[in-house]
Structure 1
């Protein structure tokens, strides 16, 4: 699995980077969100330095990875915090957590200190246009379901993200959303509305891991009961079955949104952390994890 984290040069800071042997001089560790490609190397045996993150990510960190409580330091969003950068407190920095609009608990970090100002975006979806594309995708999913009133619905998702979509669908179609016991633990930790169940067959909509949406499973589900499979994703997937619907629902910024973000911020420089561009289903582009200096 790829490591989507970074030790920030000329500072003792690391974000989403947990390979301690490769960064012996790092003192402050930050976690932007709980997607697995940002927690590579972080386990229940972590005992090196405090981990700073949002309160929601802190809850998920305890639940998912069983990191010991003493190492988890949740910080509220939009509040500047002064943190020591050495053992004697001679050097300090200010960090502010900013909503990233990516998944529950996801944040950007604004670091300010002797090195200047650094905005570490991680994965994010820039406002204001971000809501428009999500609303379009949600409406498209609702229309697909409405056109098939006698079908059950299976939605393929990763372990974290798009919970608001599930809540909206549950309310729209007045049904329970069936999930696994493991996902239910996460949903309870997030304190979402009571629309989820682990009881098989209790609702018309069921959530599975995205990898479970395959030809064999779709054929099996359809034999038991007419079933739609929906993949809300920005990945360029091609539907492989008439009952499989790929809807471009993204939790990342499009290329235009990235341009708007940079234009608004006017950083003195941009440092890509993962220098890879991905073409989305809607012909937009996104680059994962940028750091903007000189905010």
Structure 2
């Protein structure tokens, strides 16, 4: 539990924790909510978007409900960028820039003169510390009071090792847009396919669709989750829904499950994607690829090689190209060092 509180963060895998009176959830990825069950009776605090996603899953997936949640979950959604008193502690949720609804949590313990920031999974970017940022105040405040600056920082350490370094998400999306545009110029009938888990790749898909004017087809699972997130206030998800194609056959960009994003599945399902027996050239984006094996068959080989820091070639064959992106939805080592120095140096 967080020191001087009865709170835990993303600790559901431990079940009901003795003495814990409030369970906080930073975002809706399994490694953070795993452990929730129908027997769980604790009080959960999270963002509105996460709560919308939870309620949607409870409604549409009976198996998921029985295995993970149950009908009696006590979930409280907290507002963003506003302190709310939770059992005597001031709590504020901040955008974690990770996936829809993901938050960092700021705990202000006035009596103990402490301010605790738990980042959860986050991606650090400069806008988090702009002049109007709440976080900037608690990192760079010159006020002598302990409750004006962060005193304890809990960092997610997925990519804390110094060997990890990633370009910004904006750089990766810009690179993907350039490559996709070249494919479309070479063959205007190219169908773009993008892999997606249940949540977490919306920014990438929206970036391609917005820059290139593409109509998007969303499978029912992803569409329902994205609709729930949009209803919960996610602007990115709202914008993505506005770019939906009326049918899969009318789409320029088709979203599919990440597990289906391999050469065999794409060859098999190419006709299903297009809604006809005529095969189209497929450019598939698998946003978890890491290997480099560029092929001379690509229409923009030089461009991909120039963007090797952002992109990777996973597979090439006649009619099918699968590319990956060298970017991470988590912070990496330089972000950890940056946050630590800002908070404590």
Q: Is the 8 A contact 1:18 1:42 kept in 2?
A: yes
Q: What is the distance in 2 between the residues matched to 1:72 and 1:126?
A: 28
- Picking from 90, 93, 98, the partner of 1:97 is 93
Q: Distance in 2 between the 1:76 and 1:10 partners?
A: 23
Structure 1 gaps, min length 5 = 1-6, 85-91, 268-295
Gaps of 5+ in 2: 60-68, 129-165, 231-237, 272-278, 293-312
SS in 1 for 2:168: helix
* Among 103, 106, 125, the residue aligned to 2:102: 106
Q: Deviations over 1:236-269 (max 9, x none)?
A: 35544121111213221121122111111118xx
Moved more, 210-219 or 111-120: 111-120
Question: Counterpart in 1 of 2:339?
Answer: 261
Q: Which residue number in structure 2 is paired with residue 232 of structure 1?
A: 287
What CA distance in whole angstroms lies between the structure 1 residues aligned with 2:200 and 2:246?
A: 18
2: CA distance, partners of 1:10 / 1:146:
54
**In structure 2, the residue corresponding to 1:190 is in which secondary structure?**
helix
- 1:251 equivalenced with 2:329 (yes/no): yes
TM-score, length basis structure 2: 0.66
Instruction: Choose 208-217 or 68-77, whichever is displaced more.
Output: 68-77
Q: What are the within-5 Å matches in structure 2 for residues 53-92 of structure 1?
A: 53-65=46-58, 68=71, 71-84=74-87, 92=88
Verify: 1:52 aligned to 2:48, yes or no: no
Please name the residue that 2:210 is paired with. Answer: 171
Aligned to 2:156: none
* CA deviation after TM superposition for structure 1 residue 65, in Å: 3.9
How far apart are residue 190 of structure 1 and its match?
A: 2.6
Would you tell me which structure has more helix in proportion to its own residues?
Answer: 2
RMSD: 2.7
* Counterpart residue number, 2:116: 118
Q: Secondary structure at the match of 1:236?
A: coil
Task: Give SS of 1:154's match.
Answer: strand
* Cα distance in structure 1, aligned partners of 2:22 and 2:29: 20
CA drift at 1:222: 5.9
Give the SS at the match of 1:105. Answer: coil
The structure carrying a bigger strand percent of its residues is: 1
Q: Which residue of 1 aligns with 2:181?
A: 146
Pick aligned residue for 1:180 from 197, 219, 224: 219
- Say which one has the larger Rg: 2
